[in-house]
Amino acid sequence: MNTTAPHFKSACADINGLKMYYEIHGQGNPLVLIHGGGSTIQTSFGNLIPVLAKHHQIIAVELQAHGRTNDRDTDLSFEQDADDAATLLQYLKISKADFLGFSNGGQTTIEIALRHPDIVNKIILASIFYKRDAAPPEFWKGFDTATLDIMPKLLRESFLAVNNNPDLLQNMFNKDVQRMKNFKGWTDEQIRSIKAPVLIINGNNDVGSIEHAVEMHRNFQNGELAIFPGGHGTYLGALESLENGIWPQFNATNLIKEFLDKE
């Protein structure tokens, strides 16, 4: 276990056959951060954590085959990722939390809300979609011929910085691609069944269209929607989405804090 700063620790927990890496930052009401596909905690949330940890206890995880968490002999699935995150909270003796999922992490968050509603307080879905038609056909066709060199260089380097094994990087990439090739999404009825308050955040030049974000918002029983300028996770400071590493906006952090603080 690493304890290099006040109210910070990092460790691995035995979770459903994984050695699952997690970090805890700050104090307050727990907020679970779930990274995007191909990402680590730092690439998705390195800019966001210092801001949110001023007011919340941040539990940031790395999911199966990603970053410092090892793999199991199964395909990746949002259902299994959801179960792993829920089991980690049991391990940490946290009965209920808020959840922020970015990109594929948002799809895992949908599964958490469906499979483990009792542990969910509020959820934030950042740059996600729940139907295939949210993205253009070219997006889906790209997975048929995807090779590791198309993965953003920053994501490749960030994986190797925390897990210096090119074979494991290739393995993660292959499994992420296969999961997206098989993506079926969720029905409107499933989305409508989620009762937790939901904040949907999208970029105006995101993978999922603005029109789909509006449709998703209308299907949640208790949803709010915000559209920010920029691309996939730019508003969150996701490293692979930043130009020259500069995070140009902080408005999303204020919105997230207001949403979480509301009674």
User: Nearest Cα to 97, choosing from 71, 124, 136?
Assistant: 124
Query: What pLDDT score was predicted for residue 3?
Result: 42
* pLDDT tens over the chain, length 263 residues: 444 456 899 999 999 999 999 999 999 999 999 999 999 999 999 999 999 999 999 999 999 999 999 999 999 999 999 999 999 999 999 999 999 999 999 999 999 999 999 999 999 999 999 999 999 999 999 999 999 999 999 999 999 999 999 999 999 999 999 999 999 999 999 999 999 999 999 999 999 999 999 999 999 999 999 999 999 999 999 999 998 888 876 789 999 999 999 97
C-beta of residue 91 within 8 angstroms of C-beta of residue 61: no
Query: What pLDDT score was predicted for residue 49?
Result: 96
- Residue 135 sits at the vertex; the CA angle it makes with 172 and 188, to the nearest 5 degrees, is 100
What gap in Å lies between CA 88 and CA 132, rounded to an integer? 30
Domains and CATH numbers, the chain: 8-261 (3.40.50.1820)
Query: What pLDDT score was predicted for residue 2?
Result: 45
Count CB atoms within 10 A of the CB of residue 221.
Answer: 12
Write down the pTM of the prediction.
0.96
Query: What pLDDT score was predicted for residue 243?
Result: 86
What gap in Å lies between CA 50 and CA 243, rounded to an integer? 20
